[in-house]
Every structure is written in C-alpha cells, then in structure tokens.
Amino acid sequence: MRKKELKLVVTFHTTAEAMALEKAAKERSLLGRMIPVPRELSSGCGISWTSPLELREELLSLMEELQIEKDEIHEIMV
C-alpha cells in the first residue's frame, strides 16, 4: 500500500456537487483528485475530493464563488 500523507479531504452531499468541484478545480489547474470517502469521515457522497493542504484557501474560495456546497472539509492521512 502507498504511504499515507496528511491531505485535505472535501466531502459532499451529492455526486453533482463533487463533479462541480472537480470541473472547477481542473479548469484552474488546482492539484487534486477524487477518492473514495475515507472511513474516518462519516456522512456525505461516496466520493470525495483530495488536495494538498496548502490549497485549502483556494479551494474554499472557489467553492464559495461557484456556490458549490460541501459537506465537510478535513485534514486527514490519506
């Protein structure tokens, strides 16, 4: 198995929200990808977005700007 690293993980209520963030992040070349929701995180959509920690502010402002509704944002080992 890969060695885990501390990363940002964003969860969503619906797949549609997850897709909206993926599309927006790709358009702005923000590093990240979809991963299955880690078991430490309970609710939300079955897929989540993970990015390096330093992108936190950029991701949050992007979601606010495009009104993409997240469930939660966490910093966890993934």
Partner 1 sequence: MDNAATSMRKPKEVTSAVTRAMTSIGNAGRGVNDASLEAAREIYETRSLLARLFGVKDPKQIAFTSNSTMSLNMAIKGLLVPGDHVITTIQEHNSVLRPLYELEALGVSLSIVGADEKGKTTVDDIKKAIRHNTKYIITTHASNLTGNALPVAEIGALARENGLIYIVDASQSAGVLPLDVEAMKIDVLCFTGHKSLYGPQGTGGIYVSEQLKMRPLVVGGTGVQTFRHEQPPEMPTHLEAGTLNGHGIAGLKAGVTFVLERGVEAIRERELALAQMFRKGIADLPGIQLYGDFEEELRCPIVSFNVGDYDSGEVGDELLQEYGIITRTGGHCAPLLHKHFGTESRGMIRFSFSHFNTDEEVAKAITAIKIITTE
**Which positions lie near partner 1, rule CB under 8 A?**
12-20, 22-23, 33-36, 43-47, 67, 69
Classify burial at 20, counting beta carbons within 10 Å of its beta carbon; exposed 0-12, middle 13-18, buried 19 or more. middle
Q: Smallest distance from the beta carbon of 57 to partner 1, in angstroms?
A: 24
Q: Smallest distance from the beta carbon of 47 to partner 1, in angstroms?
A: 5
Query: Mapping DSSP to helix (H, G, I), strand (E, B) and coil, where does residue 58 land?
Result: helix
Evaluated on CA atoms 77, 58, 16, 72, the torsion sign reads positive
Name which of 16 and 31 has its Cβ closer to partner 1.
Answer: 16
Q: Smallest distance from the beta carbon of 27 to partner 1, in angstroms?
A: 12
